[in-house]
Amino acid sequence: MSSAQAIQTQFETHPSADWWRGAVIYQIYPRSFQDSTGNGVGDLRGIVQRLPYIASLGADAIWISPFFTSPMDDFGYDVADYCDVDPMFGTLADFDAVVDAAHELGLMVMIDLVLSHSSEQHPWFKESRKSQDNDKSNWYVWAEAQPDGSPPNNWLSIFGGSAWHWDSRRCQYFLHNFLASQPDLNLHEPQVQDALLDVARFWLERGVNGFRLDTINFYFADKLLRDNPPLAPELRNSTIAPMVNPYNHQEHLYSKNQPETLDFLRRLRAVMDPYNAAAVGEVGDAQRGLEILGQYTAGDDLMQMCYAFELLSGERPTAATLASIFTKVDAVAADGWACWAYSNHDVQRHKSRWALSDAADRCFATLLMCLRGSACIYQGEELGLPEADVPFEALQDPYGIEFWPEFKGRDGCRTPMVWERSNTNGGFSSSADLWLPVPAAHLSHAAASAESDPDALIHHYRKAIAFRHNHSVLQSGNMTDLRADGDVFSFVRAGTGGTLFCAFNLAESATQITLPHGNWQQLGQELASASINPDGTLILEPWQCCLVLKTG
């Protein structure tokens, strides 16, 4: 065994148990990252090709959105085989190459597990729908029609319409919280839990270091199938299509967020622990997201991390909003761990969503790296990519097609990465036919051009990530003394590594602040941190931060 192989084996076998705490995780949407075969769709070998770029940012881990065998009705979130790679993305050997290359670069690998539902093309569902008394008849959520033939209850699908679909083979309804081609698994059935835990073991044995758990709070539905109560209009605050989707008219007491989830998460944690693997759960709940985050990450036998949607919201957060969010985190998730993100594959890119200037973009990037919790970066945000305007005829997302034009779906944040400015495909693919078009407006943001521009946002991201890594208190310390003074959001990070005071002016006008009592050393000059006056005051210019270390 070569020395490189020995290092590789040690990395795979003995990652630090708490590698995830404070980690910076780079999300890859594989369809749109890099096409290595010229078919217009990104793939696993393309990821291998671009991993050095991610490592150069200073990221600790990658999260790869689904690449499993799938009919692609929901672009991989409808899984037909949990333990194989869809040919569009390559092979299991190609996935192994991703793991090997990532580990050689010091990157952990997290993959997106979709455990609440499968594709209707999955062999489990094909068997389950054959009859009401076969070996897998209870593996999905089936229910009788009401006497008038209508669905079993009032539950709604996120993608529109009833969450129940009539199946003529069994003459019953099956539950689907998403597309009708995505039937919900019945995790009340122990055999289903065992099968899903075997899926986790399969990938852990292949060297993955953790999972992003899709719709973690959807794993169980109420056994009694009780109706959801209505939700008052003033509480309809979903981050996705809140006004046009009737899903937001219900309080989802029974269709998700069930107490049985906790016991299953404990079983999953027990599978992960021998590998020092970590998971981040997606909590899809507009009203109780932070509370559920706190429940699912409390103690040391549940999930390590979860994220809610507070920083994925449509309105740009103000100082008061941020102080309110993190005060609530202290109240409901003090024993848990959050993972924060501004953008992902499901929401409009935050550059456009929050109408950020370049200065504001830099300020929010620095803020993300100073928050307590772990952090996710979505591919392209480090380039300052705005939301793409995808015409209706080019749309792929069933969500957008259903609710067009009031809601244009998620394709605008999923267009291909731009690597080079020199061609219309941005270096993503050699094909003339891409799965989604590369917006012309993105070409000026191409990674190669950004690398050669000292003022480009990517360099600020590198500096902000390095600042986080260089100050251990930002990775694991407490976050206290939350304040919103006008447009300035400030807090203290304290723990191993010292005490840092962080303040951010989230406005277009300058303001003066006074540092807390004590002696402070200025840090973060590379991030344009404000200079301290001898009297302990300082001027924060528009979108400027203050980062200082307590020395006495």
CATH number, residue 267 = 3.20.20.80
Q: How far apart are CA 15 and CA 103, in angstroms?
A: 10
Check residue 278 and report its DSSP letter: E
State whether 398 and 327 are in the same domain: yes
Other C-beta atoms closer than 10 Å to the C-beta of 359 total 14
- Our count of domains for the chain comes to 2
Q: How far apart are CA 272 and CA 354, in angstroms?
A: 37
Is residue 290 assigned to a domain?
A: yes
State whether 31 and 73 are in the same domain: yes
Q: pLDDT 10s per residue in the chain (552 long)?
A: 333 343 344 454 457 999 999 999 999 999 999 999 999 999 999 999 999 999 999 999 999 999 999 999 999 999 999 999 999 999 999 999 999 999 999 999 999 999 999 999 999 999 999 999 999 999 999 999 999 999 999 999 999 899 999 999 999 999 999 999 999 999 999 999 999 999 999 999 999 999 999 999 999 999 999 999 999 988 887 655 556 788 999 999 999 999 999 999 999 999 999 999 999 999 999 899 999 999 999 999 999 999 999 999 999 999 999 999 999 999 999 999 999 999 999 999 999 999 999 999 999 999 999 999 999 999 999 999 999 999 999 999 988 998 898 889 999 999 999 999 988 899 999 999 999 999 999 999 999 999 999 999 999 999 999 999 999 999 999 999 999 999 999 999 999 999 999 999 999 999 999 999 999 999 999 999 999 999 999 999 999 999 999 997
Check residue 437 and report its DSSP letter: P
Is residue 417 assigned to a domain?
A: yes
State whether 371 and 507 are in the same domain: no
The closest of 211, 186, 182, 214 to 283, measured between CA atoms, is 214
Concatenated DSSP letters for 32-73? GT--SSSSSS--HHHHHHHHHHHHHHT-SEEEEPP-EE---T
The pLDDT score that the predictor gives to residue 15 is 79
State whether 276 and 314 are in the same domain: yes
The pLDDT score that the predictor gives to residue 548 is 98
The pLDDT score that the predictor gives to residue 552 is 78
> Domain end: 444, 467, 490, which one?
467
State whether 296 and 342 are in the same domain: yes
Concatenated DSSP letters for 73-120? TTTTSS-SEEEEE-TTT--HHHHHHHHHHHHHTT-EEEEEE--SB--T
The pLDDT score that the predictor gives to residue 13 is 45
Other C-beta atoms closer than 10 Å to the C-beta of 420 total 14
State whether 381 and 406 are in the same domain: yes
Is residue 195 assigned to a domain?
A: no
Residues 6+ apart with CB under 8 A from 137: 128, 131
State whether 410 and 502 are in the same domain: no
> Domain end: 415, 448, 467, which one?
467
State whether 491 and 439 are in the same domain: no
Domain encompassing residue 536:
477-550
CB 385, CB 351: distance < 8 Å: yes
Concatenated DSSP letters for 129-183? TT-SSSTTTTSB-EEPPPTTS--SS--B-TTSSBSEEEETTTTEEEE-SS-TTSP
Q: How far apart are CA 497 and CA 249, in angstroms?
A: 47
Is residue 388 assigned to a domain?
A: yes
Q: What is the CA radius of gyration of the chain?
A: 23
State whether 458 and 496 are in the same domain: no
State whether 546 and 494 are in the same domain: yes
Is residue 134 assigned to a domain?
A: no
Q: How far apart are CA 482 and CA 326, in angstroms?
A: 8
The pLDDT score that the predictor gives to residue 240 is 56
The closest of 371, 325, 326 to 476, measured between CA atoms, is 371
Question: Which residues are the active-site residues?
Answer: 214, 282
The pLDDT score that the predictor gives to residue 30 is 98
Task: Please calculate the CA angle 227-233-236 and round it to the nearest 5 degrees.
Answer: 80
The closest of 31, 70, 29, 346 to 181, measured between CA atoms, is 70
Is residue 246 assigned to a domain?
A: no
Is residue 430 assigned to a domain?
A: yes
> Domain end: 448, 467, 486, which one?
467
- Residue 86 buriedness (CB in 10 A; 0-12 / 13-18 / 19+): buried
> Which 3-state string (H, E, C) describes 417-435?
CCCCCCCCCCCCCCCCCCC
Concatenated DSSP letters for 497-548? TEEEEEEEE-SSS-EEEEPPSS-EEE--GGGTPPPPPTTSEEEE-TT-EEEE
State whether 440 and 328 are in the same domain: yes
Is residue 189 assigned to a domain?
A: no
The pLDDT score that the predictor gives to residue 8 is 42
The neighbouring-strand residues paired with 100 are none
CATH number, residue 499 = 2.60.40.1180
State whether 408 and 265 are in the same domain: yes
Phi, psi at 39, each rounded to 5°:
-100, 5
